[in-house]
Amino acid sequence: MKKYRIGIVGATGAVGQEIINLLEKREFPVAEARLLASSRSAGREIQACGNLEVVQETTPESFKNLDIAIFSAGSSNTQEFAEIARRNDCVVIDNSSAFRMEKDVPLVIPEINGDALESHKGIIANPNCSTAVALMALFPLHKRFGLKRFFASTYQAVSGAGAEGVTELEDQVKSKITGQTTEAKSDPVFQHPIAFNLIPHIDDFREDGYTKEELKMRNETKKILGLPSLQVSCTCVRVPVYRAHSISINAEFDSPVNVPDARTALENFNGIELWDLPNALRYPMPINYSEKELCGVGRLRLDHGFSNGLALWTVGDQLWKGAALNAVQIAEELINRKCLKNL
């Protein structure tokens, strides 16, 4: 079996670590795992794909003799290095928002629009974490009933803000419980306390009052589903949960809807599980969907606010399906479809 040389940019971060885990877990055929990060981490040793690897500083030379580079180090690093990687015949799979809306860059959730990979030109974008989780639930319903518009409210875990977001929540919880005040951080991850609180604001505000994160749900959904006139309104909220994003969705469809057909559509779709038995108190929760490849869907019901509407609740591990897993699945799909440049 052919094996591939993979670079992981941001290998020391929250998503980078999960990429390493998932390459191992899914037995990706790795010939070389090149761990790339900032100069701060250069020299650190990390176990990856069966070997103890030394983390290297990311430089323009880092992309020589690689087949694929998965980037998870923020937009500015992608902007600096993605083009260099591409010129070295290394296909880029990027977790940041840097290229998602570019016309020539496929924005891919393999279960939904894997065919978009066939026309890639060296850079492929991974969607925003909440968009990926929401669309895993919405796509099978769209296929069955035709999506007209939807409203989404997200409940986003602190690990979505990186490893430091988790530490900040932990520190605040400890200091609340022990009563010991810690020195205020000069550059906190969250602009308000996150312990025993929630923050209805993720990423910068725009002039229309929405945040950039909320806009990602709207624009990326249109691109992935190929529905340019779809109406989407979203409110994104940071909650004091370690891991897995939850999303409440109210969706209107073109055709008449019914719950049994909606259940069948969801049950038959790869990548999600219907976890919906209200009488048994069974519905997806972040605690049950952390480190899980499937996203869960529950609380499925007719939406009384629309004539053809469904209301539902979905939960998915944003570090996995919302980032690392989706990226590794894209790499697998590039190989399956024989559209990796170097094949």
- Count Cα atoms within 13 angstroms, Cβ side, for 64: 3
Which residues of the shown chain bind ligand A2P in the complex (CB under 6 A)? 9-14, 16, 37-38, 40-41, 58, 73, 77, 162-164
Identify which of residues 16 and 298 has a Cβ nearer to ligand A2P in the complex. Answer: 16
The DSSP code for 122 is: S
Asked if residues 326 and 15 have their Cβ atoms less than 8 Å apart, the reply is no
Cα separation of 43 and 37, whole Å? 10
Whether residue 49 lies in the annotated active site: no
Q: Determine how β-strand 68-71 pairs with β-strand 45-48.
A: unpaired
Identify residue 257 by its one-letter amino acid code: V
Cα separation of 251 and 149, whole Å? 6
Identify which of residues 11 and 297 has a Cβ nearer to ligand A2P in the complex. Answer: 11
Phi, psi of 176, deg, nearest 5:
-65, -45
Whether residue 245 lies in the annotated active site: yes
Q: Nearest to residue 331, comparing CAs of 136, 78, 95, 59?
A: 95
Cα separation of 1 and 27, whole Å? 12
List 142, 234, 236, 245, catalytic entry: 245
CB of 333 to ligand A2P, least distance (A): 24
Identify which of residues 161 and 297 has a Cβ nearer to ligand A2P in the complex. Answer: 161
List 49, 90, 129, 295, catalytic entry: 129
Identify which of residues 81 and 253 has a Cβ nearer to ligand A2P in the complex. Answer: 81
Mapping DSSP to helix (H, G, I), strand (E, B) and coil, where does residue 250 land?
A: strand
State which residue has the least CB distance to ligand A2P. Answer: 13
Q: Determine how β-strand 123-125 pairs with β-strand 91-94.
A: parallel
Q: Nearest to residue 242, comparing CAs of 42, 5, 14?
A: 14
Catalytic residue positions? 129, 245
